[in-house]
């Protein structure tokens, strides 16, 4: 049932192009508009929404962090993202015009379930983004958008994450479409780009051998740091989480802009630092800033592992290892940038002799608070 792969995780990483395509299936019509009939919250109600609040845990939380950038950009609705376990205990401000989005692969995560129950008690509408049909979270929500990734068996979430991202983009674009923002043309262009993204994920998967080799060469390291900015920041956090849970290594993700506010003190000779570089097109200011960051950490001895778009030549002089990803619209980059980090963590875990599908101390779904 592992389909010829040694681990479910490898199988699930490989299934991502199909999973991503399946999430989009039937949701983009012939003229390139979104049809999300399953979202049983009326267009009129969606036009009234004055705040979006996303609740989730772990990897799903990272998908939520990325969704915030997309939702605020395309809809101009303020969006908060909160760890489900923190949410209800701080007495959050919610009302009938708040739209709460609960993201969960399993649909059984107790923290997320309790957060959505709390939201509904305050009169808010809850939309679930979930991978497991008929599970508790969608059953208790007002509406659900299924990710259709197929069963995810490995404890470390991979294809569920990519499909959660696609579902989040769909919700953001749909909200933009329903409310008619000034980004109409951009929204249509991104919908077109999304329909090609499965092929781009496939292309990334075809170039992963050097990443595996690099991972094996780092098997005796104790620490790996991850840096990113804008949507690359949650990608850095996700890369670090994968490494913790699979390789049992000390791994931390930082917003690159925070380096000077503390983390740069950690940099020492030969410390591996993975940097997720935003597109040099789009938000080119942050691209240039991150290139300076790479220069700064390398000058202090870091071994730089740079994930950058094809054609981005500015990073070349400062990259000890360069991992290329296809060019995508800025907000969609996490769909391609996360894949090398999954492969990296999986290979490191194997090299360290760890159980890839069943890491120690972890369960696939956390059904206690
Ligand atoms: O089933 P859920 O998406 O609600 O699970 C949330 C987290 O427990 C989960 O993403 C966890 O962080 C993964 N093991 C990460 O790989």
Q: What is the mean pLDDT of residues 208-224?
A: 98
Does ligand 1 come within 6 angstroms of the Cβ of 116? no
pLDDT of 182 over the 80 cut:
no
Predicted TM-score (pTM) of the model is 0.97
Q: Give rounded-to-5 percent helix, strand, coil for the chain.
A: 50, 15, 35
Quickly count: other Cβ atoms within 10 Å of residue 232's Cβ: 29
Looking at the predicted structure, is the pLDDT value of residue 184 above 80?
no
CA of 340 to the centre of ligand 1 (A): 19
Read off the pLDDT band of 297 (50, 70, 90): very high
Q: Is the pLDDT of residue 317 over 80?
A: yes
Residue 358 confidence (pLDDT) above 80? yes
Q: Is the CB of 157 under 6 A from ligand 1?
A: yes
Is 342:138 a contact under the CB 8 Å cutoff? no
CA distances from 354 to 41, 172, 211, 307, 358 (A): 45, 38, 18, 25, 9
240: phi then psi, degrees, rounded to nearest 5: -70, -40
* Centre of ligand 1 from the C-alpha of residue 157, in Å: 6
In the chain, the percentage of residues whose pLDDT exceeds 70 is 99
pLDDT of residue 14: 97
Q: Is 368 exposed, middle or buried (0-12, 13-18, 19+ CB in 10 A)?
A: exposed
The verdict on the CB of residue 279 being under 6 Å from ligand 1 is no
Give the end-to-end CA distance of the chain in Å, rounded to a whole number.
Answer: 32
Cα–Cα dist 162/271, whole Å: 29
Do 122 and 147 meet the contact criterion of CB atoms below 8 Å apart? Answer: no
Whether 30 shows a pLDDT value over 80: the answer reads no
Beta bridge partners of residue 321, listed in sequence order = 305
Give the length of the chain: 369
> How large a percentage of the chain has pLDDT more than 90?
83
Annotated active-site residue 364? The verdict is yes
Mean pLDDT value across the chain: 94
* C-alpha–C-alpha distance, residues 231 and 327, integer Å: 14
Give pLDDT, residue 223: 97
């Amino acid at each position: 049932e592992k389909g010829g792969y040694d681990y479910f995780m490898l199988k699930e990483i490989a299934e991502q192009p199909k999973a991503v395509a399946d999430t989009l299936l039937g949701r983009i019509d012939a003229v390139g508009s979104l049809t999300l009939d399953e979202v049983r919250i009326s267009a009129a109600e969606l036009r009234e929404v004055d705040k979006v609040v996303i609740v989730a845990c772990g990897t799903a939380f990272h998908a939520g962090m990325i969704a915030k950038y997309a939702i605020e950009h395309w809809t101009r609705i303020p969006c908060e993202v909160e760890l489900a376990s923190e949410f209800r205990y701080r007495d959050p401000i919610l009302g009938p015009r708040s739209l709460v989005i609960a993201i969960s692969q399993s649909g059984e995560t107790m923290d997320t379930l309790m957060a959505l129950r709390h939201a509904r008690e305050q009169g808010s509408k809850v939309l679930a983004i979930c991978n497991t049909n008929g599970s508790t979270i969608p059953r208790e929500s007002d509406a659900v958008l299924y990710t259709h990734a197929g069963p995810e068996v490995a404890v470390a979430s991979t294809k569920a994450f990519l499909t959660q991202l696609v579902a989040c983009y769909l919700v953001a674009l749909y909200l933009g479409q329903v409310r008619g923002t000034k980004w109409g043309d951009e929204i249509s262009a991104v919908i077109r780009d999304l329909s090609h993204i499965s092929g781009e994920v496939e292309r990334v998967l075809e170039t992963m051998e050097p990443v595996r080799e690099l991972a094996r060469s780092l098997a005796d390291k104790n620490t790996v740091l991850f840096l990113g900015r804008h949507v690359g920041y949650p990608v850095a956090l996700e890369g670090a989480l994968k490494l913790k849970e699979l390789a049992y290594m000390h791994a931390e993700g930082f917003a690159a802009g925070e380096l000077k506010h503390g983390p740069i003190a950690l940099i020492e000779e030969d410390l591996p630092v993975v940097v997720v570089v935003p597109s040099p097109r789009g938000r080119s200011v942050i691209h240039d800033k991150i290139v300076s960051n790479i220069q700064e950490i390398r000058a202090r001895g870091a071994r730089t592992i740079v994930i950058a778009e094809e054609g981005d030549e500015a990073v070349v002089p400062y990259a000890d290892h360069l991992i290329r990803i296809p060019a995508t619209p800025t907000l969609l980059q996490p769909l391609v940038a996360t894949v090398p980090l999954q492969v990296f963590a999986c290979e490191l875990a194997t090299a360290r002799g760890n159980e890839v599908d069943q890491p120690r101390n972890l369960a696939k779904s956390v059904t206690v608070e």
